[in-house]
Amino acid sequence: MRLFSNSLLKLAFLALGMIFAQGKGWAQWGYIDRGSYIEITMYSPTVNVSSVTIPSTLSGKPVKVLRDESLSSYSRKDMVTSITIPGSVTNIGNYAFSGYSGLTRITIPSNVTSIGDGAFNSCSGLTNITIPSSVTSIRDYTFAECSGLTSVTIPSSVTNIGYGAFSGCSGLTSVTIPSSVTIIGESAFRGCTGLTSINVDPLNPSYEFLAGMLLNKSHTTLLACSAGISNITIPPGVTSIGEGAAFGFSGLTSITIPGSVTNIGNYAFYGCSGLTSITIPSSVTNIGNVAFSGCTGLTSITIPSSVTSIGYSAFSGCTGLTSITIPSSVTSIGSSAFYDCSGLTSITIPSSVTSIESGVFSSCSGLTSITIPSSVTNIGNNAFYGCSGLTSITIPPGVTSIGEGAFSGCSGLTSITIPSSVTSIGTYAFRGCTGLTSITIPSSVTSIKDYTFAEYSGLTSITIPSSVTNIGNYAFSGCTGLTSITIPSSVTSIGNVAFSGCTGLTSITIPSSVTSIGYSAFYGCSGLTSITIPSSVTSIGTYAFSGCSGLTSITIPSSVTSIGTYAFRGCSGLTSITIPSSVTSIGENAFRDCSGLTSVTIPSSVTSIGTYAFRGCSGLTSIKFMGGTMPSLGSSAIPSGVTYKKRVGSPISGTPELQINSITFDSNGKLKVQTDALVTSGLKLFYAPDLSSPFTEVTGTLSVGTGGLELHSDASATQGTKGFYKVVYP
């Protein structure tokens, strides 16, 4: 890949003070001249490379600084196995080498004094690295996700190890912490699941390693545990279990937490799948985010009454958990706190909780009952998503909002009561609740949002209150059991795909308040036999009634000006349709495959008929055009074999044209054209095989039938030929 080949792009960087140089190995370097030294800002090889050599000088000046992300933008950095940093470099910026997953070897020169955040993040191929004694700080995430690292020695110059510095280094088996280190950030060794040896210099004034645990010197904080141990007893006096202290230690089977602990940190026991039980002492006030997530072996847990807060995803994925008691002291339960606790069968939410946050009980498929206290005012997005075991739920009268997807996928739910306090029901709120047969929407609700009741196949009836003004997109899509619905006069718009696939619907009345019907609004409502569109509607959207094969009649009001593409496609039950004189355009495929249609009258107002508008109308024998000027016709708008009928005006020498009422062949094989002519002589007959061909006069002797209403021809050239005919008179 060749970057910056465009001269204008180079000029843009030059305007920022950047210069470009061509180096060895077809390497292109972007840099800034800082006067006494060079700062590299960009690396862009013109060919893919496996090794990178950073130049020691550019423009005759030493390269000292590798700017933040200076080499991480290279798109094929996964191919690079080695990088050479020159001895002139003193500063490596944030994420400078991030993502070089194929890198197996790199030497940090002894002049480097600063290594930025995430500088070697996700260099998963690195097996060892030497940190020079010139470095004083290992910053946040510097070596995070370097899963190939097996050992690391931290020099005695280092005083600080940042947040997540070695997190995710799953291959790391040993680390040596010198006496100089006085600060170790949270999650510094989170997810180091192979770390069996943590060697802390005995002279270190701040930390020590004791019985498989890295503790601060005063024994108040547990920072990390040694991998491989199955039992941990936290010493008394510890008040905080640090973030990620035992992250991913699947071999841990038991842990004893003393009564001094007040805080269980984020990710503290994440993925400890071997834990079967744990006792949280009554001193604990906070359970951190993701604290016990993925502890699949846990079957029960008691949360003491001292706890006031349960963090997000705190117990998510604890699939073995069958029961849990939340005490009344808890005021906050974080989002997804019990997500995917599929073994949980019942839970009681205390009255101290005022909000059920998003996804709290999502995918708890084993949950059969839950009590929501009257203190709750909000049910968050996806709160009970996928709780397929729930059969009933009572929403207390204090709830004002039901979030997006709140009960989506609760296929076992057979009854639910929505109180009058609810003013908002979110999108997807009851989508896929296939067991619900009826639901009453309270009059406090003003809008039925997108997908609210979609795929709710068990629903047979629903009452929409007069407070509702809008029915959203896909609102009742796929409600196959719905047989009838009354849309109140307060509704002004019916959204896209709103009733699509409601195959059980046989009739529906659209009130005069509705001004727009969205695309595919009634698509595939095959059971629908009749529908009345009110005069307030001005347009019929794309696919609006497509696939309504049971529809035998429909009235299009004179307010409609356009019929959208595919609007009535596949309405095979329709035998006739009246298009009002207000319509100016008929969209592509509008009546395609309406096989039951036998005749259509096009009013003079129509100026365009889209491609394939009447294609597949196998029963259609004639189309009557009422205007003096033919509409613009799309490709194959009128199928071959359909009789062309037009009343007045003619493109043929400016002569007037007559209405043709029928074209047949008499018993003698003569062409018989019945017109509405009031004259008995001088008539001429013209023929064209299709509308794209010119009309030519039919030769042969013409004879006028009784009363001047029939025109007979002996022209054998037209005998039995389907096409388009015109009759003109002088």
Residue 47 has pLDDT above 80, yes or no: yes
Cα–Cα distance, 403 to 422 (Å, whole number): 11
Is the pLDDT assigned to residue 558 strictly greater than 60? yes
Structure tokens at 471: 């029915």
Residue-by-residue DSSP string for 285-307:
-EE-TTTTTT-TT--EEE--TT-
Weakest mean pLDDT among 191-200, 463-472, 554-563, 643-652: 643-652
Question: The tokens of 424 are what?
Answer: 């908002």
> For 198-212, what is the mean pLDDT?
95
Q: What is the distance between the alpha carbons of residues 76 and 654, in angstroms, rounded to a whole number?
A: 72
In sequence order, which residues have a C-beta less than 8 Å from that of residue 264 and are 6 or more positions away?
241, 257, 280, 284, 286, 287, 288, 291
User: What integer pLDDT is reported at residue 7 of this predicted model?
Assistant: 39
Instruction: Identify residue 587 by its one-letter amino acid code.
Output: G
Reported confidence tier of residue 373, pLDDT bands at 50, 70, 90 = very high
DSSP string, 226-273: -TT-SEEEPPTT--EE-TTTTTT-TT--EEE--TT--EE-TTTTTT-T
Query: Are 558 and 581 spatial neighbours (Cβ–Cβ below 8 Å)?
Result: yes
AA letter at 617: C
Span 255-305, pLDDT tens digits = 999 999 999 999 999 999 999 889 999 999 999 999 999 999 998 888 999
The 3-state DSSP class for residue 14 equals helix
Provide the CA 420 distance to its chain's centre, in angstroms: 31
Residue type, 161: I
Q: What is the pLDDT of residue 662?
A: 58
Q: How far apart are CA 1 and CA 77, in angstroms?
A: 11
Q: How far apart are CA 467 and CA 479, in angstroms?
A: 22
Mean pLDDT of the chain: 86
Q: Report the pLDDT averaged over residues 635-663.
A: 55
| Helix/strand/coil for 98 | coil
Q: Residue 673: its pLDDT value, please?
A: 62
| Residue 182 Ramachandran class (φ > 0 left, ψ -120 to 50 alpha, else beta) | alpha
b/e 167-199 (16+ beta carbons within 10 angstroms → b): bbbbbbbebebbebbeebbbbbbbbbbbbeebe
Residue 647: band (very low, low, confident or very high) from pLDDT cuts 50, 70, 90: very low
Residue 205, pLDDT > 80, answer: yes
CB atoms within 10 A of CB 52: 23
Name all contacts of 247-251 with Cβ < 8 Å and 24+ positions apart: 247/187, 247/190, 247/191, 247/193, 247/271, 248/170, 248/191, 248/193, 248/272, 249/193, 249/225, 249/274, 250/193, 250/274, 251/227
How far apart, in whole angstroms, are the C-alpha atoms of residue 223 and residue 268?
9
| Whether the predicted pLDDT of 169 surpasses 90 | yes
Residue 286 to residues 281, 314, 393, 714, 729, Cα–Cα distance (Å): 11, 11, 29, 101, 96
Q: Do 633 and 677 contact (CB within 8 A), yes or no?
A: no
Among the ranges given (25-39, 240-254, 516-530, 677-691), the one the predictor scored with the smallest mean pLDDT: 677-691
pLDDT at 542: 94
For position 717, what pLDDT does the model report? 40
* pLDDT for residue 681: 54
Cα(346)–Cα(323) distance, rounded to whole angstroms?
7
Distance CA 123, CA 104 (A): 8
pLDDT of the residue at 384? 96
- Does residue 141 sit in helix, strand or coil? coil
Percent pLDDT > 70 in the chain is: 85
Give the model's pLDDT for residue 626: 73
SS3 category, 717? helix
Query: What is the model's pLDDT at position 132?
Result: 95
Residues 6+ apart with CB under 8 A from 692: none
How is residue 645 annotated by DSSP? E
pLDDT, mean of residues 452-456: 88
For residue 3, which of 25, 20, 24 has the smallest C-alpha distance? 20
The string of pLDDT tens digits covering residues 400-435 is 999 999 999 999 998 888 999 999 999 999 998 988
Q: What is the Cβ-side half-sphere exposure of residue 663, based on CA atoms within 13 angstroms?
A: 26
pLDDT confidence of residue 578? 86
Chain centre distance of CA 470: 23
Over residues 677-718, the pLDDT tens digits come to: 444 456 677 777 766 777 777 766 666 555 444 555 555 444
DSSP summary character for residue 77: G
Strands 696-697 and 684-688: antiparallel
- On whether the CB atoms of residues 441 and 420 are closer than 8 A, the answer is no
pLDDT for position 725: 66
Residue pair 587/612 in contact by the 8 Å Cβ criterion: no
Query: Does the structure show a pLDDT above 80 at 595?
Result: yes
The predicted pLDDT at position 193 comes to 94
Length of the chain: 730
> Is pLDDT at 23 greater than 70 in this prediction?
no
Cα–Cα distance for residue pair 627/646, rounded to 1 Å: 7
Report whether pLDDT(335) > 50. yes
Q: Which residue has the tokens 């009554």?
A: 282
Burial readout 108-143 (b: 16 or more C-beta within 10 A, e: otherwise): bbeebeebbbbbbbbbbbbeebebeeebebbbbbbb
Count of CB atoms situated within 10 Å of the CB of 432: 24
Quick: pLDDT tens for 76-99. 898 999 999 999 999 999 999 999
Question: pLDDT tens digits for 715-724?
Answer: 544 444 556 6
Place of tokens 């729930």: 390
Q: Global pTM?
A: 0.75
**Overall average pLDDT of the 635-652 stretch:** 57
The Cα–Cα gap between 55 and 15 comes to 23
Judge contact between 368 and 344, C-beta under 8 A: no
Q: Between vectors from CA 41 to CA 35 and to CA 46, what angle results, nearest 5°? A: 125
Q: Among 39-48, 140-149, 494-503, which stretch is predicted with the lowest mean pLDDT?
A: 39-48
Confidence class of residue 548 from pLDDT cuts 50, 70 and 90? very high
